[in-house]
Amino acid sequence: MDQIKIFTPASVANVSCGFDVLGFCLDTVGDIMKVSKTENPGVTIGAVTGQELPKDPLKNVASVAASSLLKAHSSNNGFRIDIEKRIKPGSGIGSSAASAAGAVFAINELLGRPYSRNGLVKFAMAGESLASGAAHADNLAPVLLGGFTLVRSNKTLDIIKLPSPKDLVATIIHPKIELKTIHSRAILKNEIPLKKAVEQWGNLGAFISALYTNDYGLLSRSMEDKIIEPIRAMLIPKFNDIKHAAIDAGALGSGISGSGPSVYSLSKGEAKAKKVGQAIRTYYDEIGLDYEVHYSRINNEGIKIL
Amino acid sequence: MDQIKIFTPASVANVSCGFDVLGFCLDTVGDIMKVSKTENPGVTIGAVTGQELPKDPLKNVASVAASSLLKAHSSNNGFRIDIEKRIKPGSGIGSSAASAAGAVFAINELLGRPYSRNGLVKFAMAGESLASGAAHADNLAPVLLGGFTLVRSNKTLDIIKLPSPKDLVATIIHPKIELKTIHSRAILKNEIPLKKAVEQWGNLGAFISALYTNDYGLLSRSMEDKIIEPIRAMLIPKFNDIKHAAIDAGALGSGISGSGPSVYSLSKGEAKAKKVGQAIRTYYDEIGLDYEVHYSRINNEGIKIL
């Protein structure tokens, strides 16, 4: 096999109670990547459509991740990466993670699959690090493994795939302002109250239990974040209105996707997810802010070969 | 039924990564309580053996919890509580929780079971509050529900029973010094680093996932507490030596039970749990500190009627 075409999906990280550890994978939003073996060694960026991305292999997330894999594998193969970039950078749904994970996934396939999907996370981290200033696996893990994932340790990359209750549908609203992860991170406080931390880990524990038991009520009650969300909410126009409108419209819960500005909601069933979308878009219609709305089931597979 | 005799077990709270939320129930250590209907209304404390406990119903944990239930139920029944106290107060394995939970459980049975086991937690909280100065459900929940339990919210008492992998065996060592919860709590810091909190909730999420999947390796890796344990360790003689010796002897993990001074370890299988007990007792033998060692499987039932 000399060439592969893949769908590499968007993802939601920092899922409410699971800041820096919990993410899930989307199904209807993602990039298309085509990776081809080349005669000369090294990684090059070929055609890029949809968004402006650096062509310099040292500055492009996909090629940096790819090079990290090739270095470890001591491969002399060369690869060209063509990217149809559909996920907007800075939208908060894992644009750089899709590129980084997609590149290493595709090359791993072309090399005869020397690494497991889980084993690819560490190479993709090199790309993520370039994009966000700090290497975090909480978007990469759901893109590579699919479903909900927990990053137990970002240092040792101890990553757990969690079950996904089948009726969950995400509604994502993306107000068209750009937020850099590095800025959203800068406004966080280094110290937090122990009392709130205890509430947060109680909620995360309950959320994970609910995934295993398909307990939508418990899932809903545990979708709380009293630590990060109150700080980052100020970066997102109308966040509190949108969140309350989503819950009033029947969402199980709602929160900031990644480091924003996208806002995700989870609902039981597509009808409710659509109702949530209708309810929240009115807030950006009113103020005349451009936006996109996506609906997606949880993508339990992750990256797909086309 | 005018009289009931029960076994009300000891329990381990603050299980490493689950400070204030995660607990489990023991099987081989616990009190015996006998509760009898009386002619006159109100709650009285009858015979108390094993330990010195207040006979004044306003000062005894069991009667305070019992009165809380009777007040809510608007019952004119009277009850006498006889206690064979085998769990030492201040030992860190839920002595007051066993008394409070036992009292409300027994009276609920004598009243024809108007409340579920989960519904009894709120009444038992009144007793816990008397003992520790703050009402926490993290020992009460495992005593009443059995197994591992998660207190998602201490305010709304949203309590989840978790599965218990069947080969888990606890080794508890109780050095005979007395620690009051109120003092162990006083030395904690109100603010903690966000970075450590993220590690802690990653570990708790992984621990809970491991309970559902019987993943003993993951259970072991997630039994970490970098927030509370380093502070409270100083209250427990030889804590760090004991913890390391337990892990060297094959324990999956080890930590402070409740607010100490007892130290718990979890092992896969009884043989390992015994080996752990042999390894750690030597530290107290050496310094001549009196202690007790208990071995117990996880009690998945909680309080038992005898």
Q: Does B206 touch chain A (CB under 8 A)?
A: yes
pLDDT at A57: 92
Q: Rounded distance, CA A162 to CA A100, Å?
A: 22
**pLDDT band (50, 70, 90) for residue A212:** very high
Q: Does B70 touch chain A (CB under 8 A)?
A: no
Tell me: pLDDT of B134 over 90: no
Chain A residues within 8 A of B222 when measuring between CB atoms: 152
- Which site among B159, B201, B232 would you substitute to test the A interface, given the most A Cβ atoms closer than 10 Å to its Cβ? B201
Q: Rounded distance, CA B147 to CA B142, Å?
A: 6
**pLDDT band (50, 70, 90) for residue A129:** confident
Higher pLDDT, A181 or A253: A253
Interval A72-93: pLDDT, tens: 998 788 999 999 999 998 899 9
Chain A residues within 8 A of B193 when measuring between CB atoms: 190-192
pLDDT at B93: 96
What is the average pLDDT across B12-19? 96
Q: What one-character DSSP code corresponds to residue B2?
A: -
pLDDT at A214: 98
Alpha carbon distance, N-terminus to C-terminus of chain A: 14
The sheet carrying A291-297 orders its strands as: A253-256, A263-268, A168-175, A291-297
Are B3-163+301-305 and B168-297 equal in CATH topology?
Answer: no
What is the average pLDDT across A236-245? 96
What is the average pLDDT across A28-56? 95
Chain A residues within 8 A of B216 when measuring between CB atoms: none
CATH architecture of B168-297: 2-Layer Sandwich (3.30)
Tell me: pLDDT of A180 over 80: no
* Interface pTM, i.e. ipTM: 0.94
pLDDT at A5: 98
CA-to-CA separations, A68 to A56, A58, A104, A124, B256, in angstroms, rounded? 15, 11, 9, 8, 42
**pLDDT band (50, 70, 90) for residue B180:** confident
User: Are B152 and A206 a contacting pair at CB < 8 A?
Assistant: yes
What is the DSSP secondary-structure string of chain A?
A: --EEEEEEEEEE-S-GGGTTTEEEEEEEEEEEEEEEEESSSEEEEEEEESS----STTT-HHHHHHHHHHHHHT---EEEEEEE--SPTTSSS-HHHHHHHHHHHHHHHHTT--S-TGGGHHHHHHHHHHHHSS---TTHHHHHH-SEEEEEETTTTEEEEE---TTEEEEEEEES----HHHHHHTS-SEEEHHHHHHHHHHHHHHHHHHHHT-HHHHHHH---SSSHHHHGGGSTTHHHHHHHHHHTT-SEEEE-TTSS-EEEEEESHHHHHHHHHHHHHHHHHHT--EEEEEEEB-SS-SEE-
- How many percent of chain B have pLDDT more than 70? 99
Interval B20-71: pLDDT, tens: 999 999 999 999 999 999 988 999 999 999 999 999 999 999 999 999 999 9
Cβ atoms within 10 Å, residue B59: 12
Give residue limits of the domains in chain A.
Answer: 3-163, 168-297
Kindly report the pTM of this predicted structure.
Answer: 0.95
Q: Does A206 touch chain B (CB under 8 A)?
A: yes
The reply to whether A28 belongs to the active site is: no
CATH architecture of B3-163+301-305: 2-Layer Sandwich (3.30)
* Third-level CATH fold of A3-163: Ribosomal Protein S5; domain 2 (3.30.230)
The reply to whether A181 belongs to the active site is: yes
What is the DSSP secondary-structure string of B69-117?
A: HHHHHT---EEEEEEE--SPTTSSS-HHHHHHHHHHHHHHHHTT--S-T
